Amino acid sequence: MKTNNFFTIAMAITLAVAFTLSLGCKKNNNTNTEIKYVTLGVILPLDQEKGTLRKNALRTAINEINASGGVGSGYEIRLNIKSSQGDDREVAASIAAQNIIAESLFLVGMVTSFSSSSTGVVYDVGIPFHYPIIAGSATASSLSGISPYFQRLCAPDPFEANVLANQGVDYGISSVAIAVEDGDAYSMELAAAFQTAYGSGASVMINFSANDPDYGNKMDQLLANNPEGIFVSMLNPIVYNEFFTVLGNINASNNLANTTYILCDGLYSSDFFQAPIDFILGEVNGHPGNFGAFPSADTTSTEYIYFKEKLYQEFDQDVASYNAQFYDIGYLYALALEKTLNSIGVVSIDVFREMVAENIRPISNYSTGDSLVFPSLGWESIKTITQNSNIDYVGASGNCDIDNEGNAITPYSVFKVIKQGDNFSFEIIKIIP
């Protein structure tokens, strides 16, 4: 869905600030010193816990950079953060983006999360007004190659589907029924990709929505052939809480102890622990009774450990799904800004933003002679290297190689849900490079 009715307002705002960038240079009347800044718009699902966790990961990077002098000759990076919550996240995100444009001076780019919200921002802001956009967790295949102004630090849905399908085959699960959240683009595309990857072993797919009056019949269809596994492709906590509640009630009367539960990365959130999921724990035929997968860096790498420690120090937060990607987005933008300031300096906002967009992908890829830069080097050292050579950024999520389609293929972690005492948690059981 496009929100073209916002275009006229946004264009007027853009033209109003296009005559001069001055990169946020203002005079402080009290001190007669310059206050310098640029702004990034950030659109996240703040109605869900994962939105806050990803915001904190991004802030960790931006705070490190600002604390070490910012970009260029002391330009601070500011964040204008809005939520994509609403019945239609694509429309909600587009409205949020327009509000960010209206409120923000010296806006040089956008950060997005879900595929639906990213789609709205790409069509209504990125393509018409040439704002660079980097998503940390937008996995829809339709976003591949959608625009040179859009890129993401994650693989399209079929990649995750193949990881999960291969793991299911390795565990000897011959038949899988698929439970999918009706109407959610991410859930439906991932479910379809998984069904394709699993072939004839996953012939049953049933759509579920909250408070569905036909819930009982749909559950009967899902379990009709006694599947050895159930793949749950859902994103909304309201939807999957109800699903696991109903499934748990069925388990109490019709034992599902020999069923394996395959979980999408959308369930890798403590929101999932609000559901009655005790019955999915344990083992089945020598393998975990539940498992899932999400994009994750090598958790033993220096950069991941560096990020993990910084995140905990600043926000008392453990690393959750896609957190490393949002941390790296902060550094990619900072490096693109640094490169732009080094090459063209202070120019019109339109020209400056175009150059930022052009610099994002090259700094994520290695070319002969490039210098490797890492967050653990410290921002001051990174700036010095960036001023003197071409670079290849390696971050907490790994080497963020963004290809010509705007995609980055990152390692995946296979996880399972465990319970210690009264507390659920996730345990990583395998890293797929």
Tokens of 131: 């704002």
Interatomic CA distance for residues 134 and 357, integer angstroms: 10
At residue 278, φ and ψ (nearest 5 deg) are -55, -35
| pLDDT value of position 297 | 78
Question: How many other CB atoms are found less than 10 A from the CB of residue 54?
Answer: 27
| pLDDT value of position 34 | 63
Interatomic CA distance for residues 208 and 223, integer angstroms: 14
Count of residues in the chain: 433
Class of domain 162-297+414-432: alpha beta
Cβ atoms of 415 and 429 within 8 Å: the answer is yes
Is pLDDT above 90 for 6? no
Q: Are strands 76-83 and 133-135 parallel, antiparallel or unpaired?
A: unpaired
Tokens of 115: 């595929």
Cα angle at 185 between 266 and 205, to 5 degrees?
80
Name the one residue in this structure whose structure tokens are 């559901």.
Answer: 275
| pLDDT value of position 410 | 80
| pLDDT value of position 31 | 47
Interatomic CA distance for residues 43 and 153, integer angstroms: 16
- The number of angstroms, rounded, from the C-alpha of 377 to the middle of its chain's C-alpha atoms is 25
| pLDDT value of position 13 | 41
Tokens of 383: 């700036």
CATH topology (fold) of 4-154+322-399: Rossmann fold (3.40.50)
At residue 431, φ and ψ (nearest 5 deg) are -110, 130
User: 3-state class of 182 per DSSP?
Assistant: coil
Interatomic CA distance for residues 327 and 312, integer angstroms: 13
Residues of the chain with CATH 3.40.50.2300: 4-154+322-399, 162-297+414-432
pLDDT tens digits for range 166-214: 999 999 999 999 999 999 989 999 999 999 999 999 999 999 999 999 9
Interatomic CA distance for residues 115 and 185, integer angstroms: 8
> What percentage of residues in the chain have a pLDDT greater than 90?
83
- Mean of pLDDT over the chain: 91
| pLDDT value of position 383 | 96
Cβ atoms of 49 and 9 within 8 Å: the answer is no
Is pLDDT above 90 for 394? yes
Prediction pTM value: 0.84
pLDDT tens digits for range 39-82: 999 999 999 999 999 999 999 999 999 999 999 999 999 999 99
Interatomic CA distance for residues 10 and 125, integer angstroms: 8
| pLDDT value of position 9 | 39
pLDDT tens digits for range 252-289: 887 788 999 999 999 999 999 999 999 999 999 999 99
Is pLDDT above 50 for 2? no
